Amino acid sequence: MTPLPQRPRLGFFVSHRGSNMRAIVSACQTGALAADPALLISNNRSSAALSWAAENGLPHVHLSPKSSGSEESLDQAHLDKLQEAGADLIILAGYMRKIGPKVLSAFSNRILNIHPALLPKYGGQGMYGHHVHEAVVANRESESGVTVHLVDGEYDTGPIVAQATVPVLPADTPDDVAARVLVQEHLFFSETLIRIVSGEIDLDALG
């Protein structure tokens, strides 16, 4: 795979709020992360992420199976838009769909997701958002956290890039855990990207 440029261009996939995307864009704007936001793709026409992108000058597009006609056409449309934007690194920031095989192939070892638990625990289809935190509390875990991982063709099974833990206290509700994990997500995704862009983490050695 071609090495990342010194200042990679970031393509984001988001389904809803995009709070992790916003945190990463902020890190780019402050200079903490030497990267440039290039494109937001959302499958949800009414997502808050699309509105935010429009207000903040980030190129954006709504693409879904319905708008594209088929899953295969959607995969090609994703690839076309990412290549037009010159994206080097793909960031899934709360994207609720699988990435198609054409994009997976073209961006091998260049697609990252963040999961709100310590994979391989509490991953897989259906394990997203509050479902994860409810399971963590139900199983009386003493800690949870976040995992940044490379994306493959399945849910949450790609190689782990980095993890950070948060405590789970005996009296915690799923809402308590969710709030603690989200704070960590906003910090840790950017921190991990900084390590990737600086060369401290070699994605090709993981994939």
The residue among 51, 58, 56, 53 whose CA lies nearest residue 9 is 58
* Neighbour tally for 124: CB within 10 Å: 13
HEC assignment per residue over 70-90: CHHHHHHHHHHHHHHCCCCEE
Name the residue with tokens 């099974």: 157
**Is 115 among the catalytic positions?**
yes
Nearest-10 Cα torsion for 106, 60, 132, 123: 0
- The single residue of 60, 78, 115, 186 carrying the catalytic annotation is 115
Query: Which residues have CB under 8 Å from 124's CB, separation 6+?
Result: 155, 156, 157
Give the residue numbers annotated as catalytic, written as ranges. 115
